[in-house]
Amino acid sequence: MGLPKIDLPLFELEIPSTKKKVKYRPFTVKEEKILLIAKESKDVDQMVLGIKQIVNNCVQKVDVEKLAMFDLEYILINIRAKSVDNELAFTIKDPDTEERIELSVDINDIKLSTPEKHTNRIRLSDTTSLLLRYPTINELNILMGAKSNKETLFEIMIRCIESMIVEEDQVYKMSDYSEDEIIDFIDGLTANAIQNIHNFFETMPRLRHEVKYVNNKGANKTFVVEGMETFFI
């Protein structure tokens, strides 16, 4: 007779970018090992893979490959809170004194931060707008590794243009057009439109929290917990 399996509780959360509600379970030892291996690797690709594996394992009916990076981070932080506890303890090195500082943060205090003027709607004229989608974790990883490659950056930006809306009722989905047609369309945009598309990527929502501390010189300092650092500090 095999050992009985333990029933794990299910919780519900809302995915930030889509507002879709999904059910998830806490970590098991298996997922803790995945997280530990990713953390010890110090490799961004390994960390990304670890996040995707854990979310795939713990969340019901979700396509990890289509989620925005901040969605995955938000889901993972909720899983972590239900699996261990809300307190995340870690050590940093003060940049001025180089002393080791013990800090902790309540996971529930880490919120999704969105700049006030951020929008996924890029207005081209009084009657025409572009709707953008957030890059997936794979696309964002390419963006992070291609800061000096303008062609790659441009390719990802084009890929994230979801549709064009004219007069609020005519919708042109980019998926209905060839790559050459889309590039030809993009080439006709103004420099201001391209800058606004770039601003969309620069101001995307992200998990962020500030932790205050005092170093041994008596200086008030702030350590910012942001993005994937939340899970791998």
Domain count, the chain: 2
In the chain, the percentage of residues whose pLDDT exceeds 70 is 90
226 shares a domain with 212? yes
- Mean local confidence (pLDDT), 62-83: 88
pLDDT at 60: 93
Decide if 2 is inside a domain. no
Q: Cβ atoms within 10 A of the Cβ of 60, count?
A: 10
Residues 197 and 212 in one domain: no
Same domain? 126 vs 172: yes
User: Does the pLDDT at position 231 exceed 70?
Assistant: no
Verify that 26 and 81 share a domain, yes or no: yes
Residues 64 and 127 in one domain: no
Residue 17 counted as domain residue:
yes
User: 17 pLDDT band (50/70/90 cuts)?
Assistant: confident
206-210 — which CB contacts under 8 Å span 24+ positions? 206/70, 206/73, 206/112, 206/113, 207/70, 207/73, 207/74, 207/77, 207/110, 207/111, 207/112, 207/113, 208/110, 208/111, 208/113, 209/105, 209/109, 209/110, 209/111
Q: Identify whether residues 86 and 177 lie together within a single domain.
A: no
Query: Which pLDDT belongs to residue 228?
Result: 64
Is the pLDDT score of 98 beyond 80? yes
Do 88 and 100 share a structural domain? yes
Whether the CB-CB separation of 187 and 194 falls below 8 Å is answered with: no
The reply to whether the predicted model has a pTM over 0.85 is no
Q: How many residues does the chain have?
A: 233
Task: Decide if 151 is inside a domain.
Answer: yes
Query: Residue 62 belongs to what domain range?
Result: 11-112+206-232
Considering the domain boundaries, does residue 5 fall inside one?
A: no
